[in-house]
Amino acid sequence: MAEFTMELNDDQKQVQDWIHGFAADVIRPAAAEWDEREETPWPVIQEAAKVGIYSLDFYAQQFFDPTGLGIPMAMEELFWGDAGIALSIVGTGLAAIGVVANGTEEQIGTWIPQMYGTPDDVKVAAFCSSEPDAGSDVGSMRTRAVYDQAKDEWVLNGTKTWATNGGIANVHIVVAVVDPELGTKGHASFIVPPNTPGLSQGQKFKKHGIRASHTAEVVLEDVRVPGSCLLGGKEKLDERLARAHERARSGGAGERVKNAAMATFEASRPAVGAMAVGTARAAYEVALDYAKTRTQFGRPIIDNQGVAFQLADMRTQIDAARLLVWRASWMAVAGRPFTSAEGSMSKLFASEVAKKVTAQAVQILGGNGFTREYPVERMHRDSAIYTIFEGTSEIQRLVIARTISDMPIR
């Protein structure tokens, strides 16, 4: 088990410099254009694939970094470049992780390559979980999957929303209810192969921020997928459902299952916190450079305490957010229990810092900060998503409060 450290090793620094260079040379110059177009930046994704950043191998290497800092470091640098384009690059990873975490070796070997395609023929994948009436309340999920034993097929019906790459993906991973009596424990995940009849794109959302990332509804109407597309296989599912029914009858043990699930979510949230840190850092750097070069009343505006103190607070909050993210990331890889919901802490704090720091950056730039001639306007719009997706700030506070109090706070 790696000791906790705040110093990247030489290999990590090389990777960091490599990603930063790609973000600076490829992502940033394209950011304003694709934000305005509100379209998936296929040329940028293709460039990322050519250099090896858009690939499962890249994310696997960072995920298995023994210090736990590989993923947060990579996320921070990519989102420093631009949040919308970065989300287009990493969005497929959500679906890929779902397959790697729950699928069989055969499913992983079959479907992961189809999610990414090749540098000459780039593909994307979508993870479809949220629904119009089931965002934070996953227990209200309505999408159903029914097993047709005669044909060894699953039939999926329902509507998913807020799906990154939804409808344009080559492969969709869909979470559906297979046993309504079990609530959230009666859910399962399914692979929907390319060109499967019955799957269509619903509304494409025109968003406040991260506009280079495609977000849409996914409609499933009698979508039939082979039995082999149930992640993990039916035997494993039947065993899990049987255990859940037994726990429900015996009582008490189900709470331990819930806590184990929460621990899984806790381990994934620092990555989102790292994205927020990247956006905040980008806005801070623009504001700092501007404050040192913009003159008013015969001197740079950073000479004024009102501006200098804002920048001091911005830098302090960014560093504090990064440290929370790194601590939680290290705890996850080291197997340390999140006794105070440290994963949610990191996501909550970093998300709120991103909103605050980007707003301060706009203020420091004044009228210029309110125009699209400067990137802080876009960064401020992008930052709003961090307090919403992957669990709102309110949900993070609820998780933290329940954890530290050991009470069912509602």
Catalytic residues: 390
* Residue 218: how many other CB atoms lie within 10 Å: 26
- Backbone phi, psi, residue 195, to 5°: 60, 30
Distance of CA 229 to the CA centre of its chain: 24
In order of 50, 99, 115, 164, 409, the CA distances from 121 in angstroms are 11, 21, 11, 19, 49
| Torsion angle of C-alpha atoms 287, 288, 294, 299, degrees rounded to 10 | 140
Q: Where are the alpha helices (DSSP H) in 23-82?
A: 28-37, 42-51, 56-63, 70-81
Q: Is the Cβ–Cβ distance between 232 and 191 less than 8 Å?
A: no
Q: Which residues contact 129 (CB under 8 A, 6 or more apart)?
A: 138, 160, 175
104: left (phi over 0), alpha (psi -120 to 50) or beta: beta
Cα dihedral 243→246→252→258 (10° resolution): 30
State the Cα–Cα distance between residues 277 and 317, nearest whole angstrom: 9
Residue 181 is inside which H or E element, if any? none
Exposure string for 349-382, b = 16+ CB within 10 A, e = fewer: bbbbbbbebbbbbbebbeeebeeeebbbbbbbbb
**DSSP secondary structure letter of residue 7:** S
